Amino acid sequence: MDINLDTATSGPLKGIRVLDITSMITGPLCSQMLGDLGADVIKIEPTHGEVSRWMMPPEKGGLTGFYCQMNRNKRSLALNLQSEEGVEILTRLAKDADVVVENFRAGVADRLGIGYEALRSINNRLIYAAISGFGPSGPYSDRPAYDPIAQGLVGMMHIQGKPFGGKPQLIQSAIVDKTTATTASGVVLAALYARDSINGTGKGQRVDIPMIDAYAANSLPDMLPVDSFQPTDMPDAEPLAVLRTFATHDGHIVGMALQDNHFKGLCEALECPDLLQREGMRNVGERIAEFGPWLDAIEIEIAKWRTDELLARFDAKGVPFGKVKTIREFAEDPQAQHNRTIFDAEHPELGTLRYVRYPGHLSETPASLTRHPPRLGEHSAEILAEAGYGETEIRSLRDAGVIA
């Protein structure tokens, strides 16, 4: 990911304007991805700032670390959408926008007068991306949907919990929010292609991205095979038993040695060739039939070795294992550094800021960092001037609390 601060983007979405009316993780991360690809993203937030600006430390110069990870490559317009003037400003901006991303609860955007129908009536090329918890309609549509609620609903918590005494387990990360953000950015790109491609319609459309749909699509494909053929007499999906963490003498490793060549190399590296002749471990068929015995056996052997020495022996035998690292250790990993997966960029006032790169490596139109996360309302006057507001109007709007 290139660092081209304060320069024009050359990304594939150059010339696309996005209005980001979202907060927290899912919507902001979606629009950040579009900004990484070159879109002009205008973050529209309340005059007191959206919640991630102040919800958790660290804080520096009007930014929190949490906010920074979801809001680079954006300009900030602090706008009171509870006022008629604020709604009028947003609708004027929507006339020239390509995409609106919002994550209001059901009906809120319509009540404010900034829903799909209202904005589509002034710009029929607009892509209106609505991110919700459960969907635009249905029995749960009016309920708030936080990440843990969606995790519980989709079914994976039981799978996560079975190896831990059967108690359902949450993934210790906002996995649904982030999964939905990635999905939503892809859906927006599909809608833009449907509008602008050589066979495109020339018209925008509403796209809805429910969190439960996005998480189900990403987490269930390898869990649903037992129900592929209906009706079924198969038992419920089970955890993938081969996915296990192994303790070494001084750390932990993960990997897989299911195939015959991998298991042979593993036993040779561990200096326990007798396992190759033990019933239940002699070939891949036996090992798949019952995972427990051979996984338990190699767990005992792995614990005898130091991590680095063992991984070197595995590498020499072509056995795919790796070290379990902390996030900070990952940042120092040679492959992560080669990819610039975690990268640093200098801020003129705040010093060095650290980011996670956009994951796609485009050879001709690379993603880039052109703007650090904005301070609240940093670009309000600039954006309104572009929309045709004069200095006196902007001053009046600021004095009236419509903008900050």
Active site residue ranges? 177
* Cα first-last separation, the chain: 32
Two tokens, residue 244? 């296990």
For the beta carbon of residue 188, count every other beta carbon within 10 angstroms.
27
Residue with the two structure tokens 């969190």: 211
Rounded CA gap, 261 and 265, in Å?
6
118 membership: H or E segment, kind and range: helix 116-120
358 class by beta-carbon count within 10 Å (0-12 exposed, 13-18 middle, 19+ buried): buried
Rounded CA gap, 243 and 49, in Å?
42
If you count DSSP H runs as helices and E runs as strands, how many of each does the chain have, helices first?
17, 15
For the beta carbon of residue 168, count every other beta carbon within 10 angstroms.
15
For the beta carbon of residue 31, count every other beta carbon within 10 angstroms.
31
Do you find a cis peptide bond into 139, omega within 30 degrees of 0? no
Which of 320, 372, 369, 322 shows the shortest CA–CA distance to 350? 372
Whether 80 and 377 have beta carbons less than 8 Å apart is answered as: no
Q: 76 forms bridges with which residues in the sheet?
A: 43
Residue with the two structure tokens 């699509």: 217
Rounded CA gap, 274 and 290, in Å?
18
Residue with the two structure tokens 């004027």: 92
Angle at 393 between CA 391 and CA 399, to 5 degrees: 100
b/e code 78-117 from CB counts within 10 Å (16+ = b) = bbbbebebbbebbbebbeebbbbbbbbebeebeebebbbe
